Amino acid sequence: MGEGDRWRRFEMHRMIFLMRTLVWLAVCLFSLGTRNAGLVWTSWILYIVLVSVLVQFTPLKLDFINPLLIPVDILLITYAIAGTGGISSPLYILYAVEALFLTAYGALRWASIGSLVIILVYGLVTDGWDDKIFWWRAAIIGLYVLFAGLLGTAFRRTQAHVKENYRRLDQIAALKSLQELVVGDESIDVVLATLLQNSVGLVGAQLGYIVQLTAHGVLMPIAAIGMDRTAFKEEGCLYENSMEAWALKRQAVGIHPLKDIGSDIRDHGLSALGISHAAVVALTDTNHLIGMLVLGSNQFVVSATDGALETLAAIVINQLRYDAARKEAKKRGRLLSVLERVGRLVNRNLEMSILLKSLHQAVADELETDSFFVALNIPNDPDHVLMRYLYDDGQEYPLEVLPLTPGGPTASVLAMGEGKIFNGNPEKSQLTGSQKASQGMLVSPLIHEGRVIGAISAQSYQKEYDQDHLEFLSAIASQASIAIQNAQLYQQTQAIALTDHLSGLGNSRHFSLVLPAAIEHAINRQQPLSLLVIDSDSLKQINDRYGHTAGDAHLQMLAQAIQRSIRDNDTPCRYAGDEFVVILPGSRVDEAMAVGERIRQEMDQRFAWRDAGMIGVTISVGVAELKGNMTTEELFTAADRAMYFAKQQGKNQVVAM
């Protein structure tokens, strides 16, 4: 009730109180000169004293005092009528004033009963049952009470309507203030707690809570006041077995007595807290139920139809939307920041190994990852992938070719071209690195120009992933696919630039890059290093007699013989024309001479050339071992001098310097 409405009601009670005082004064004045005058005046004085005392101890409680004094008024008027002539006394008219008081404080039913009492005591004191004047006066009093009662009823209805309007205006003002109060930068927990605190006071509730409905049909509390929301988590309450589901089947906004709930339905302890009624309001977003607002009370000051509960629900929904939008904006902003960072890495690093490590770091900064890998498709081999980068449980593993498990996470993502979440140690999962079982696994395809070129994956041993995590990894993958494709093209271009097109071995540029690094490594590690310089003894004669095509075939045979005779970590190159070099890390001069001898023996034979028959070929090999702090030029000069010495000694031999 508004302050103005309370003041108007007080004015009405005070006016009735003053009218009663005048009624008593009129009774006293009409009693002058009668034998009852002293008693009447004494009563009036006592009335003044009594009222003064009552008002003193119950200030402004006239709405309580006035109805109590109506029977006293009737008795006093009746006594005065008896002392001033009975049926001939004009004081009967004061009964009409009491009828007015009755209609002001009671419904028509109580006013009618009061009028019958007035007629009864009037008849008793005047003994006018047989007098027509008495009955005419009784009829007038009855009609007066009837009309006054009807007017009083209409007045009270108007007052109730006005009161309800004021209540709704106060409610709207409170809801507006509440809406303004919760809009801010506070966390959603603080906002919802504030909402509940004000909602409870607004509707006259003792407690309240807000629950969200998960995709699995479980109610999860997100705010509560007046009760412990952890009870929900301990119960793990399913929506279908809850009071909320029971209530929403009846109406979207309703106030329900808890006594009507069956024993198999959970009310989350509301009955145990002494709550008799629960207001349950559906929280819907785009016609989809996302949760419920529940308020518990023994006496609500609102109804289910006055709109207050719906307005409160709308405020909650708006806050949930605002919080979701804010989180989405933060997530997008964070994602854009990461993508910008990845973009800088892509533009700066074209070396594949550096690129993949940078991608791993970018993902690890945002996701909790224990394992991360980048697997690339192998052309014309759909059953295997190249594990180009693998980090697992704190260790980085060398690249290797792995078989694809049919139906496994990586195989299914590569086949479908869509990212997926695999939580809870998925079956057929490809074991990697430490071979631990993953709790959460994300796999996203690497797609370049509409073609799947591989997959990127993040895994955790402690937690499961959700759709937001997959969206993040997929966004990284979309940019990483471009970077990986560029890095592959760069490597291919670099390989072409460092490869001799005829022999397939490294070219002189490749040799000039590898030899200084190999010498520095050998010196730092104090390990041996040897170099072979190989020259064909027969190329000029073959070119002159059979043509350059035959000479090219001879050089290709020599390159193949070199590759068959060396180790994987040795580096063969075609230096120039018919001259080849082989870098042998970890080999001393005698070991290098043995390698040179294997190559010489394999080449000391004839090969068939078209119609020309068998052509004989030989090679000369020079060997030099790294000594002290020899430079690149010094080591190469020593091996080259040994090769020329072999030619001077008759060719087709291996010589060391």
For the stretch 438-465, pLDDT in tens is: 888 999 998 888 888 889 999 988 888 8
Q: Which residues contact residue 506 at a Cβ distance below 8 angstroms, ignoring those fewer than 6 apart?
A: 498, 499, 500, 514, 571, 572, 573, 574
Q: Is 578 a catalytic residue?
A: yes
CA dist., res. 596 & res. 568, Å (int): 16
Q: What is the DSSP annotation of 359-425?
A: HHHHHHHHS--SEEEEEEEETTEEEEEEEEEEEETTEEE--EEEEPPTTSHHHHHHHH---EEEESS
Residue type, 42: T
**Non-local CB neighbours of 352 within 8 Å, separated by 6+ positions:** 388, 484, 487, 488, 491
Contacts of 585 (CB under 8 A, 6+ apart): 518, 521, 522, 527, 529, 569, 570
Catalytic residue among 535, 537, 578, 640: 578
Closest to 626 (Cα-Cα) out of 535, 524, 506, 508: 524
- Which parts of the chain register pLDDT below 70? 1-11, 29-41, 43-44, 47-48, 50-63, 104-111, 145, 148-149, 152, 155-156, 158-186, 229-236, 306, 335, 339, 341-350, 425-435, 488-497, 606-608, 610-613
Range(s) of the chain covered by CATH 3.30.450.40 = 188-327, 349-493
Find the helix packing angle between 108-126 and 94-105, rounded to 10°.
Answer: 160
Alpha carbon distance 154, 407 (integer Å): 79
- The encoded tokens of residue 546 equal 């059979």
Cα separation, 454 vs 610, whole angstroms = 45
The CATH class given to the 349-493 domain equals alpha beta
Q: Cα-flanking dihedrals φ and ψ of residue 138, to 5°? A: -65, -40
Q: What is the model's pLDDT at position 434?
A: 63
Instruction: State the DSSP code for 499.
Output: B
Sign of the Cα torsion 471, 476, 481, 482 reads positive
Q: What is the pLDDT of residue 1?
A: 45
H/E stretch holding 212 reads strand 207-213
How far apart are the C-alpha atoms of 498 and 517, rounded to whole Å?
16
Predicted local distance difference test score (pLDDT) of residue 2: 45
Dist CA 566 CA 564 (whole Å): 6
Q: Using the structure block, give the residue that is written with the tokens 């730092």.
A: 524
Q: Give the CATH number of domain 188-327; options: 3.30.450.40, 1.10.10.10, 3.40.50.11060, 3.30.43.10.
A: 3.30.450.40
Interatomic CA distance for residues 629 and 514, integer angstroms:
17
Sheet containing 654-656, strands listed edge to edge, beginning at the edge strand earlier in sequence:
571-576, 579-585, 529-536, 619-625, 654-656
Q: What pLDDT shows up at residue 196? A: 81
CA 544, 547, 552, 553 torsion: positive or negative?
Answer: negative
CATH topology of domain 508-656: Alpha-Beta Plaits (3.30.70)
CATH 3.30.70.270-classified regions of the chain:
508-656
Percent of the chain with pLDDT strictly greater than 70: 78
Angle formed at CA 356 by CA 353 and CA 362, multiple of 5 degrees: 140
